[in-house]
């Protein structure tokens, strides 16, 4: 049973379809990445799902509640650049957000204590938000989105403005979150999507152009590319690679070889046996094709 079902969702701003007949379902306990280049309509889609922009046409239905139109109580939302009141402390803001969502004073202090712990802000909880760093604000943003235990958590570009450490923390947090709720997050960084999500929705120019489990989408790829580099380039390596069965193309760029193959397993076995037999000093072996980047580029350029 799906948690949310979206049908023909469309949003038109001055005759331009920013979101164009998008339909998908979200299932409980899954982490879904909403991918797409900038301006693809990701944020608008999330805002409609968050319930504070009305779609021009189409429907969003929560299986919890088909009657009421206001489903904001089931949704936790973190905007791309969350901003807070600088004069309020992190803890106070969580109290405010929780009470707005209908929690009692008692519930909210319980909950905010746990959340501050979850996002590692226990010590900073009493400090005014004006003194917070960007990463701390992002984490507080996640905490405020979770305060009312929503069924669906939506994060708009949660990691794109963070440094590598902050990014790692937030990705780990997302992994935690999907234990209790459905997570939908938008990103244009494909690695992040691959790392934590099971399913992807790929948007371009307002349209949903690809959707499904990552493994399935990857399986639709016809060919695979292996990227190779060597500490010391063996003689005639270009020719030797080309002789391998199922290899049909080898390109070289700055000492890195992109080897396109039909059968990944056979090609991989051959390459490794050659590495042993002929003592190739391999420094890089990477399967680059079938990654989201490939799918992404193909789908967007279609």
Partner 1 sequence: MQWTVILKKELTENWRNFKWLWVPIVFILISIMDLISTYYMPIIIESAGGLPDGTVIDIPMPSPSEAMLMSFSQLNMIGILILTVISMGTISGEIKSGVYELILAKPVKYTNYVTGKFFSYWLLMMVSLLLGLLASWYYTNLLFGELALSQMFIAALFYACWLTLVIAIVILYNTWFKSPGLIAFLSIITVIILTVMTNIFGHVLGWSPAKITEYISIYLHTGDLDIEIWFSAIVALLLSLACILFAIVSLRNRAID
Confirm or reject binding of residue 145 to partner 1 (CB under 8 A): yes
Nearer to partner 1 by Cβ, of 63 and 99: the residue is 99
Shortest Cβ 81–partner 1 spacing (Å): 6
CB of 53 to partner 1, least distance (A): 7
Q: How far apart are CA 21 and CA 18, in angstroms?
A: 10
Question: How far, in Å, are 113, 284, 297 from residue 92 at the CA level?
Answer: 11, 51, 44
Q: At what angle do helices 90-100 and 134-146 cross, to 10 degrees?
A: 30
d(CA 16, CA 11): 8
User: Which pair of structure tokens corresponds to residue 189?
Assistant: 């960084």
Q: Rule CB under 8 A: say whether 127 interacts with partner 1.
A: no
Helix (H, G, I), strand (E, B) or coil at 224: strand
Helix, strand, coil in percent for the chain, rounding step 5: 40, 30, 30
Task: Tell which residue, 99, 121, 118, 120, has the closest CA to residue 108.
Answer: 99
Examine residue 39 and tell whether it contacts partner 1 (CB under 8 A).
no
User: Does 76 participate in binding partner 1 (rule CB under 8 A)?
Assistant: yes
144 near partner 1, judged by CB under 8 A: yes
User: Can residue 109 be called a binding residue for partner 1 (CB under 8 A)?
Assistant: no
Residue 87 in the binding site for partner 1 (CB under 8 A) = yes
Q: CB of residue 18 vs partner 1: minimum separation in angstroms?
A: 11
Asked if 141 is part of the footprint of partner 1 (rule: CB under 8 A), the reply reads yes
- Whether the CB-CB separation of 222 and 284 falls below 8 Å is answered with no
Pick from 8, 100, 279, 298: which binds partner 1 (CB under 8 A)?
100
Q: Nearer to partner 1 by C-beta: 66 or 273?
A: 66
State yes or no: residue 75 binds partner 1 (CB under 8 A).
Answer: yes
By CB under 8 A, tell whether 102 contacts partner 1: yes
Please give the angle made by the CA atoms of 171, 172 and 177, to the nearest 5 degrees.
95
Is 96 a binding residue for partner 1 by CB under 8 A? The answer is: yes
Residues in binding contact with partner 1, number by CB under 8 A: 30
The most distant pair of C-alpha atoms in the chain lies apart, rounded to whole Å, by 74
Is there binding between residue 41 and partner 1 (CB under 8 A)? Answer: no
In whole angstroms, give the CA distance from residue 193 to residue 172.
Answer: 12
153 binds partner 1 (CB under 8 A): no
Q: Is 77 in the site for partner 1 (CB under 8 A)?
A: yes
**Residue nearer to partner 1 on the CB measure, 89 or 289:** 89
Q: Which of residues 272-291 bind partner 1 (CB under 8 A)?
A: none
CB 234 within 8 A of CB 280: yes
Binding status of residue 52 toward partner 1 by CB under 8 A:
yes
| Assigned token pair, 36 | 């797409």
Of 117, 163, 113, which Cα lies nearest the Cα of 138? 163
Residues that bind partner 1 in the complex, under the rule CB under 8 A: 13, 47, 50-53, 70, 72-73, 75-77, 79, 81-85, 87-88, 96-97, 99-102, 141, 144-145, 148
């Amino acid at each position: 049973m799906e948690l949310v079902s979206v049908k023909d969702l469309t949003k038109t701003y001055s005759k331009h379809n920013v979101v164009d007949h998008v339909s998908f379902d979200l299932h409980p306990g899954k982490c879904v990445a909403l991918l797409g280049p900038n301006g693809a309509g990701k944020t608008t889609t999330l805002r409609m799902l968050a319930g504070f922009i009305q779609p021009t046409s189409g429907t969003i239905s929560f299986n919890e509640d088909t009657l009421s139109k206001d489903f904001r109580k089931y949704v936790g939302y973190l905007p791309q650049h969350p901003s807070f009141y600088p004069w309020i402390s992190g803890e106070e803001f969580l109290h405010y957000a929780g009470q707005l969502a209908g929690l009692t004073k008692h519930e909210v202090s319980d909950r905010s204590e746990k959340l501050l712990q979850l996002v590692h802000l226990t010590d900073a909880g009493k400090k005014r938000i004006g003194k917070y760093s960007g990463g701390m604000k992002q984490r507080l943003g996640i905490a405020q989105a979770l305060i009312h235990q929503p069924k669906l958590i939506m994060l708009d570009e949660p990691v794109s403005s963070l440094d590598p450490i902050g990014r790692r923390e937030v990705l780990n947090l997302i992994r935690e979150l999907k234990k209790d709720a459905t997570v939908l997050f938008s990103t244009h960084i494909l690695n992040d999507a691959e790392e934590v999500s099971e399913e992807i929705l790929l948007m371009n120019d307002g349209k949903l152009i690809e959707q499904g489990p990552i493994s399935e989408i990857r399986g639709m790829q016809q060919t695979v590319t292996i990227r190779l580099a060597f500490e010391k380039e063996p003689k005639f390596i270009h020719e030797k690679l080309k002789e391998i069965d199922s290899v049909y193309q080898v390109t070289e760029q700055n000492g890195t070889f992109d080897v396109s193959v039909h059968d990944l397993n056979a090609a991989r076995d051959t390459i490794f046996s050659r590495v042993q037999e002929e003592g190739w000093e391999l420094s890089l072996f990477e399967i680059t094709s079938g990654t989201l980047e490939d799918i992404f580029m193909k789908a967007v350029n279609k």
